[in-house]
Structures are given as C-alpha cells and as structure tokens.
Structure 1
Amino acid sequence: MKKKLKKQIGQLHLWLGLASGLILFTVALTGSLLVFEKEIDQFINPEFYNVSNVGSSKKTIDDCTAAIQKQYAIEKINRIVVYNDPKRTMTIIGKNSEGDSQIFSVDPYTGKVLGTIAQESRFFSIVLNIHRHLLLHDVGEIITGSSCLIFVFMLISGLVLWWPKKIKNLKQRLTVKWKASFKRVNWDFHSTFGFYTFIFLLIIALTGLTWSFKWFENGMYFIANGTTERPSPKVENPTKVDPLTDKTAFYQTLYQKTDSIFPYQGNIQIRMPADTINSILILKENLEFSIPNQSSAIYFDKYTGKEIEIRPYESFSKGDKLKRLIYPIHTGSIYGYPTKILAFVVCLFAITLPVTGLLIWLGKRKKKASN
C-alpha cells in the first residue's frame, strides 16, 4: 500500500513538475534578481539614489514637488519618500495628464531633479511584473499563484520521495556522488540539494501565496488573530471640499507632524489617495528595529492637513504584524545580507529544479524506449 501511494505521489510530482516547470523557472529567475534589487539598482544608477554633496539645509518638500509639477507637467503627486540617510535623494512619484506614472529623483538640498524614469519601463518594475504577473495582468497572477501552489506540493512530495526506506541509507541520500555518471549526478543534485533547501523554499513559496490569493491572506489573519476581520488600510476623508487656498508648506507640515509624533529614526513615505474619497496615509519605517518594514501610520485630511487617525506599530494586531514580516521573509531581507545571500542561493537552486527534473524524465523515457 505504501509503495503504491509513493508511486502515485511520484507520478503527480513528475507531471505537475513538467506542467509548471517553465513558470517556476521564470519566477525563480526573476525572484533571484529581486533579492538584490536595491543593491543592483544603486550600483548601476548611483546618481539616482545619492546626492553629490550633503548640504546644511534642505528645501521644503513642497518646493520640490512644485518644481516637478511645473517643469514636467505633472498633474498629480502620488507618493513622496524622504529618507533618513542624509546622502539619499528624495523620491517623488507623479502622474502626467495621460495618467502615466513617473519616478523622480530629487536633491533635497537644492531641489534639482537628478533623474527621472517612467515607472512601468523601469527595469526592476518589469522584472517584478514578470515575477508576479508574467506581464499578463490578472491572468498572469492566477498562473503564477497556481504554480506557486503546485511548487508547495512539489516540495512536500519531493521530501516524501527523497525519504529513504531504511535509516541506514540516509547518508547516501545526503550526498552527491560527483564521480558517478551524469545521470546519477543529476539525480543526486536534484534530490539532495532539494532536501537541503526544502524548508527555505517552502517558506519563500508560502509567503509568496499572500500576494496571489486573498483566502491565503485571510487564513494567515485567522491563525494570528482568530478572525479574518481587520482595520481597513484606507480611512475616508472627513472634509469633502478644500477650504484652503494657501498650501505652500502642506507636505512639509505633514512630514514634520509625523516626524514629531514618531520621534525614532526612520524613512517617511507620504501616500496620496488614488480616489476622491480617502485620506492621506503617511508611513514612518522604524530603522531602529533590527527587522525592516516595521512602520507606524498616520492618516491626515487631504484638504486641511489635520490628523484623522494615528496607528502606532505597537497597536497593530498580531495578524498585521505578521503581514509586515511577509515581505522581508519572502525577499530574504529580514536579517540583512546573511539572509539575503541565503535567499539568493536558494532561488538559484530553484532555477535548476525544473531543468534537472526534466533531464530525469527524459532519461527515464530513453531507458524505456531502449528496452
């Protein structure tokens, strides 16, 4: 019975692997690039991310946005990121009259635009689009999400197939016989390193499901909170008509209020609502935490600039805090370079799995044909 079950699992492992191999190869390849996205981009485009001279005082955020809107005909500011590092440029994202998003790098000391690029044509934006959607929008997201689910099964079934019948054969399963034939080396490489990377690949795959399936995210919240209910990430704007005529220091005031309410060292991100209903969301990431992506939030009235709601990180539910951990866990950035390097190496190995698996199948076909 056990032998028959293992054979059935082996068949599922084989055919699901062949069916999803190309997608898994693509997702793993793009994922390995995204692990070091910031480092690669900053190395290639240092002038986009760093100022040449650190000044004694900075321009107001409003001066910078006004110059961009005038010079580049930007109709709407979507997002502003002000970094704690004095060497970092300010990032401003805005939309023109045609609705295209543009990313601007601004020297905060002079207000000068150091670089600009269309958000959709940025190299890593394209890589991320391939990684999540295969450039196919919602259809691509379903394909990558389904392939990720298949990969979870492949990992678990692979562990079942790897597991030796007798404990005395365990040592053999933990090593690659490099001096053997190519067929044997390929098999050992696929199964042995699959075992060593199993837990890391499983974590990456499971965290990746959060972006593909709402039911998976709801399940995560239910496990953490005992309920799928949670506060809305958006807060409706109480003021419906703009009563202000002078907004020369609007963004700067919001920035200073946020910096005062949350006095720790951190990067501040101003997010303007995409619609006419909701308020401004400002996030301040706490750089004093050892783990990244831990931010507190404040909602401001987009017309008056008054505080609507303050959500310190400490007040977040266990589910919200867990969700904040998903991105650094998935990308390997949770503990800096050691875990990034680990995630990169594991992703590189994941690229080989569809290839070595295909070679194993072709070898079996060839053997059957010759018999």
Structure 2
Amino acid sequence: MIKKAILWLHKWLGILSGIVVFLVSLSAALYTFQDELKLLFYPNKYFLQSDAGAQQPKPLTELIAKAQANLPDKETISRVDLYPAKDRSWVFRASATNAEGFGYWNYQSYYKRVFVNPYTAEVLVVEDTKNEFFQLCLQLHMNLLLGKTYGHALVGYSTAIFALLLLSGMVLWWPKKWRGKPLKRAVSLDWKAKWKRLNYDLHNVFGFYSFAVALVMALTGLVFSFPAFKKAYIDFFNVFATEVVLTDLSQDKASAVPYRYIDPLDNGLSHLLTIYPSADMMSVRLRDKDEPLVDVQIRLAENRSGVFKWYYFRRDNLQVDKIQDSEKLTGGNKLASLNFDLHTGSIGGMPTKIFAFIISMFCASLPITGYILWWQKGRKSTKAKTKRAIR
C-alpha cells in the first residue's frame, strides 16, 4: 500500500516537472566544460599573441577607462576578471538586468565583456555576452530563458521536486532480494530485452547510478534558488563546527601597501599581484567612490571558485581591513563556499567534471524514459478498456 502511494506520487511529480528537469539537466551537461571550451573556441579573446615577459600591467583604472570607451554611454563596467598569467587578457564586464522583465532578453538589459591586453591597453574584442552560446546555456539552466521572477522560481521548485523524485525513485528501485536475478536486473541492463522492458530498466538503472551525485546537484541547486534554504543549510552544518576560526590574519593585515599610484584600487591590486603571482584569477567588483572598502577576490586554484582569499582594503589609508580565507571557514560556511564547485563538478578537476557531465545526461534521460513508461501504461489501459467494451 505504501509503495503504491509512493509510485503514484513519483509518477505525477515526474509528469509535472519532467520537461523542466530535462532542460535543466541538458543545459547543465552543455555548460559543464564551458571554461575549457571557451579557451578552445575563443583563443583570440582569452590569450595574448605574445607573452608579456617582465612587463607590468598598466593601472587598473587606466584599463577600465579604455574598456569603458568602447561601450555605449549607458553601459557601465561593474566587474573585472583579471589573470596574473602573462599570456592572458583581462575581462571587463558591463551588465544590467530588469528583475521584472519576462523572458531572458527582457530580463537581461545588456551584458558586454571587453577583453583587454593589460600590458598595452589594447582592446582585443568587445563581446555581446548576452547572446553568447554558453551564457544562453547558463540562463536556460538557471531560469529557462524566462527571466528571474518567473523562470528562477520555476527551476527552483522543479529542482525541489526532482530531489523528492530521486528519494522516492530509490524506494521504488530497491530490490526485493539482494542476490541473484533481482539484484542483477536492478543494477545492469539487458540490451537484448524487448523495448518496453529495456526502457523500464533504463529508467531504473540510470536512476540508481545517478542517485547520489544527482541528489548533491539538486541540493546545491536549491542553495542557489532559495536564500532561506541556504541559511538553514549553513546553520545546520555549522552546528558540527568545533571552533570558530577568525578570518582576519594579523600578519597580512599589518603589511603595508605601497603607494605607487593615485587611486587606492590600483595600489591594492598591484600589491596583490605581487603577493599572488601564480593565482588563477582575481575578481574586482567596482564599488562607489564613497564606499569605505575596496575588495578583491583571489581564486587560487584553476576553475575553482571555492578556493580563495578575499581582501578588503580601507580606501582612506590602504590598510588591510579584513581577509576571508576559504581554508579558515568552518562547517556550513565552508560547504557554502564550495557550493558552485560541488554543483558543477569542478571540485576535483577534469575527472569530476566528466563524471558530472555523464550524470547530467543520465538525469536528462530520466524524464524521457519516465514519460514513455507513463504513455505505455496509458496505452495498455486504453486497450484493456476497449476489449472490455467490445465484450
């Protein structure tokens, strides 16, 4: 009786959310290798023609002005992604959204990225990121290209339903006997079986092998979708923290930032490039001039957003006000910092990315095989009713 109720719930939740789960899973698979594929497909944007050698980058404010001059007046640069590696360009982002806009092209007012040679201030490319392929994949994944107000909520609730489908599916998959033919059928495919049986096994077996990783992807997706869930998630795991580790590092805070330029942002960034020459990337979010702090995030490992140091400088005297270090976080805060890496599979580099890609494709197949099962049972039921009517 209980299993029948779970089957009924599994079926109708799957019917309600299937199309969304398929699109979100497929777009996740397409987006998995976006970091590597962008470098492969757009080398003229991301790489310089010649290594800069011993040259030093020009002041950031000068580069911002140069990039801004290549954009329309109403499009303002708000973030810079820069690379200490001598063969890489720096990326200047200008983006604005309309939260109430329905549909992606109404929601995203504009999104441009200006690629600049930081050693010569030459503008390499001005990209219309709003219509770039991987950006469209990301927006399809996040909000189905419907905009944030409607699409983000639809994806969030469908992800929650998908988590329930995974749990209920595991109950339905559970073999009656953990040996012999029942166990073999539960964990392997018989490609010689008839189509109906093969489709049923595809749904069950792919669901089983996807379960653990897909559940992690679903839960980390909920962290992005629902602030209340994120807070509860952090608070829950913080309970297991044995001590609070301060993120302020007194030795680093005491270090003096040399005044080489007029603007505090130029000095702070020059200081960090000297300290972390082998960092993968640094990100600067441009604040208003009256903001008391200037902040720079340093991503220490390649394609990993969860391994970082975040420096906050006082604008008035360039003293280091605070440093956030991902290694010093505890419990839920640590997991929250790793959320993107867990969600995308970049937590372990290329091997886990490949694994995440495969699981995403498995997840995309589940609604298809599930809908076929529903259609087959409906067709069988219709035939049975027709036979009874004829009699």
What TM-score, normalized to structure 1? 0.86
Distance 1:203 1:100 in 2: 33
1:280 shift after superposition = 2.8
When residues 180 and 101 of structure 1 are mapped into structure 2, their CA distance, relative to the original with a 3 A threshold, is: closer
The separation in 2 between residues aligned to 1:277 and 1:84, in whole angstroms, is 26
2:35 corresponds to which of 10, 35, 38? 38
The equivalent of 1:133 in structure 2 is 143
Aligned with 2:283: secondary structure? Answer: strand
8 Å Cα contact 2:261/2:267 also seen in 1: no
| Alpha-carbon separation, structure 2, partners of 1:359 and 1:253 | 62
Mapped partners of 1:89, 1:291: distance in 2: 19
Deviation of 1:30 after TM superposition, in Å, equals 0.8
Match of residue 121, structure 1, among 131, 141, 155 = 131
Check if 1:90 corresponds to 2:58. Answer: no
Matches of 1:131 and 1:270, distance apart in 2? 26
Does residue 208 of the first structure (1) align with residue 207 of the second (2)?
no
Deviations 1:240-281 (A, max 9, x none): xxxxxx975543312122345667634221111379657332
Instruction: Report the Cα distance in structure 2 between the residues aligned to 1:117 and 1:365, rounded to whole angstroms.
Output: 50
Q: Is the 8 A contact 2:84 2:277 kept in 1?
A: no
Task: Give the counterpart of 2:205 among 192, 196, 208.
Answer: 192
Write the distance in 1 (CA, Å) between the matches of 2:175 and 2:311: 55
Instruction: Give, in whole Å, the separation in 1 of the partners of 2:361 and 2:92.
Output: 33
Q: Which residue of 2 aligns with 1:282?
A: 296
Structure 1 residue 292, shift from structure 2 partner: 5.2
1:252 corresponds to which of 248, 266, 283: 266
For 2:266, the aligned partner's letter is Q
2:154 matched residue in structure 1: 143
Question: Cα–Cα, structure 1 residues 71 and 350, in superposed 2: closer, same or farther, change >3 Å?
Answer: closer
How many residues were matched structurally? Answer: 351
For residue 70 of structure 1, report the CA deviation from its aligned partner.
3.1
CA displacement at 1:130 relative to structure 2? 1.7
Contact kept in structure 1, 2:292 and 2:316, CA below 8 Å:
no
Equivalent AA in structure 2 for residue 252 of structure 1 = D
Q: 1:109 aligns with which of 119, 135, 151?
A: 119
Seq. identity, %: 31
CA contact (8 A) 1:62 1:250 kept: no
Which residue in the other structure is 2:46 paired with?
A: 49
Change (3 A) 1:178 1:367: same
Q: Is contact 2:313–2:322 with CA below 8 Å preserved after alignment?
A: yes
- The alignment status of 1:13 with 2:10, answered yes or no, reads yes
1:219 maps to 2:232: yes
Pair 1:72–1:365, CA change in 2 (3 A): closer
Paired amino acid for 1:72: L
Aligned pairs for 1:273-352 (under 5 A) are: 273=287, 279-287=293-301, 293-301=306-314, 305-352=318-365
Structure 2 CA distance for aligned equivalents of residues 200 and 39 of structure 1: 22
TM-superposed CA distance for 1:318, in Å, is 2.9
Q: Which residue of 2 aligns with 1:166?
A: 177
Output one character per residue of 1:137-193: Cα deviation in whole Å (capped at 9) or x when no partner.
Answer: 122111111111111111111111111222332122122121111111100111012
User: Gaps spanning 5+ residues in structure 1: where?
Assistant: 231-245
TM-score, structure 2 as length reference: 0.82
Structure 2: gaps of 5 or more residues: 99-108, 245-259, 385-391
Question: Is 1:69 matched with 2:68?
Answer: yes
Say if 1:64 and 1:108, in contact at 8 Å, map to a contact too: yes
Contact 2:163 2:219 in 1 (8 A): yes
